[in-house]
Structure formats: C-alpha cells, structure tokens
Amino acid sequence: MRQPRFLTAFAFALAALLFAAPASAERVKDLADIEGVRGNALLGYGLVVGLDASGDSSNSSPYTINSITAMLERLGVNVRASIGNMKPKNIAAVMVTADLPPYARAGQQLDITVSSIGDAKSLRGGTLLITPLLGGDGEVYAIAQGGISTGSFSVQGKAATQTKNHPTVGRIPNGARIEKPAPVALASDADHITLTLHTADFTTAKHMQDAINARMGKGIARALDAGSVQVWNPTGNAVELVAEVEQIELTTDHPAVVVVDERTGTIVMGHDVSIDTVAVAHGNINVSVTEAQQVSQPNAFAAGGQTAAADRTSLQVSEDEAKLVMLPRQVSLADLVGALNAVGATPSDLIAVLQAIKAAGALHADLRIM
C-alpha cells in the first residue's frame, strides 16, 4: 500500500529527532531574561496627510474632521465656519505604535508602525504629522513623524478592485525620536540580579543554578522557584555580572508535549513522547448521498393528469477493512509514527488516534490542541 506523502515526510522528520542528544547545551542568555530589563510599548494617535483621495470619509470617520479642526486651530487657522463642508479624502486618522527598548536614551530613533483606524483605503504615499507616543504611565517618551512606506497598493474601478499586501498599515524606519529615557529597574551597583526563565521548569532552574555556581562559586546562585534564579553580585558591578552569566551554558530539560493544530493538520511531537502498550485499529466509513429529480408525465390520453417532479435519493455506505496495530510499551516516537503510517492514517486520522490514546491514558505527554 502506498504511504501518504505527508506522513512519510513526517516520519523522516521526527525520526531525525531520535538521534539527537536528549539534552542540549544552551546559553543562559537564550533561556532567561534579566528581571527589570525589558522593552516598553508606546502608543499615539495622529493624522496622515497627502493621500491620493484614499483617506477617511466624513460620514464614517467624523473624528478625523474633529482632529483636523483641532490641529488647524492650534496653528492659528479658524475653520469652524466651514467644518460642515470638509471632505478629508486626503487625510486619515491613524494609531502609531512602537517599542521602546531598555536603556534607550534621549535622541535615539525608533521604527514605528502606522495603522488606519478609519475607513481609509490606503496609506500609501502619506506623511505622518507630529505624533506624541505615550507609555503605559501616560508620559510622552517619543515624537513620531515622517513618510510612510506600505509596500502595497490598492486600485479600484467600477467593476474590479486590485489590492496587493495590506495598504492600510505602514512602517516608518527611524520615524520616532526618543524624548525621555526608558525607565530602568536594574541599577549597576545592585547587590543581586534575578533571571526569569522564558519557560518555567524546575529541572532547568536547578541546572541553571548549578551551572552558575560551578562557574562563579558555590552559593552565588539560588533557584527561587521554577521560573526564576537569583544571582548575587560579589563584585558590585551588575554589568560585568550579567555579561558573564549570560554566556554560561547548561543542559536543558523539556516536558513531553504533543501539539496538534486541527485547522491545518499540523502535528509536532517532542523526542520524550512515549506510550504504553496499546492496540490501534483504523478504518474508514464512507457515506455517499446523491439527490436527483425525475419528471413524471401522464399518459397522452389521460384525463386530468399533470406533470410532476419526483425526488430520488441514492444512498451508498462503504466501510474499509479495519487494520489493527499493536504498539509495545514505551514505544519510541519513530515506532509510533511508523505504525500509524502503516495503517494508512491521514493527518486528520493521526490527530484522532493521538486524542484516543491520550484518553485511554496510554500517551505519556501533554496533548495540546491549538
């Protein structure tokens, strides 16, 4: 029997994982962050001008007109008398977002993203006017302005529309200049630093503690819980301490996980996945229903007869021969994939089989459905 192409490639890819070392050496820098050293999200509201009749409409986006009026009045232009006649097709209201990196200083520049919040058709060719970018505390940390690049276009006619990429979102490289330094929660003379693991795991936290102590001296590091490790600063220089700790390598440990995405038929399994003795039977039931109409006519000399349509339903049910596979205790990942491939399981079938094995208590892994 010909094996499904998806599962054949899937088996080769997963079997390769079995020949890799069960634990790999990784740097502390790739496994954890320094508590207090993080970026901060910035947000602002602004106007994009210079659009080619692709901006907001006055009916659907009245706040655009209000913003234009307020901006012009700040510049000394009184437009209150003509506000009802405004048609801001060359202007669009937008939200501006950016990420303020840790230790950013005044004068540095940031890349920003500009997104339409009205009914503008495209931001292509527009220019963002001065827009303050606020942090979560309401303080202004940067000022944005500049020409927008969307990498897209949208052309519309009476009977057809052609759009490439996403014309209502654009970027401005170095479009914002920092006006206020980012808040810093880690002092250079701090008596300790705290490492926060990207994925909380008791075994990895213990390995990290042991690796740091082996490199820098016993008692320097202490695992506080599954997600954090505290490291004392014997030299009083947090910068040197962080630079040294980040380069320390350790072996990591990961839980056995099977991730299933039913929408795309994607299945990903870790090398630690195993199952107990289990029998898997696979078969398909196919049901085919066909609807047709037949016309019934009376005889040529029938009195009072009428032509009528009659429904005819054809129903066929077929069931494939079930294939039973016995998997031994603590079967490897390659054996599991090979056995399911042998019974002709499709990706959808494989998902159902894994769910059934988990329900039977034979799958020793965390089954996560996306």
Phi, psi of 37 (to 5 degrees): -105, 100
Looking at residue 320, the DSSP 8-state letter turns out to be P
The CA angle 284-286-289, to the nearest 5 degrees, is: 170
Instruction: Report percent pLDDT > 70 for the chain.
Output: 70
| CA–CA separation, 213 and 211 (whole Å) | 6
Instruction: Say if residues 75 and 62 touch (Cβ distance below 8 Å).
Output: no
- pLDDT per residue as tens digits for the range 74-113: 888 877 766 666 777 889 999 999 999 988 889 999 999 9
What is the mean predicted confidence (pLDDT) over 184-212? 89
What is the mean predicted confidence (pLDDT) over 29-40? 89
- pLDDT per residue as tens digits for the range 234-251: 888 888 999 999 999 988
Please give the radius of gyration of the chain, using alpha carbons only, rounded to the nearest integer: 32
- pLDDT per residue as tens digits for the range 2-23: 444 444 444 444 444 444 444 5
Q: Give the total residue count for the chain.
A: 370
The amino acid occupying position 355 is Q
Report yes or no on whether pTM surpasses 0.85.
no
Q: Between 253 and 129, whose confidence is greater?
A: 129
Q: Which domains does the chain have, with CATH numbers?
A: 5-20+257-291+311-369 (no CATH), 25-37+185-251 (3.30.1360), 40-178 (no CATH)
Question: C-alpha dihedral over 170, 172, 178, 179, to 10 degrees?
Answer: -80
Pairing of strands 257-261, 366-369: parallel
Phi, psi of 35 (to 5 degrees): -60, 130
Buried b (16+ CB within 10 A) or exposed e, 105-124: eeebebebbbebebebbbbb
| CA–CA separation, 143 and 95 (whole Å) | 13
**Through-space distance between the first and last CA atoms of the chain, rounded to whole angstroms:** 32
| CA–CA separation, 86 and 177 (whole Å) | 32
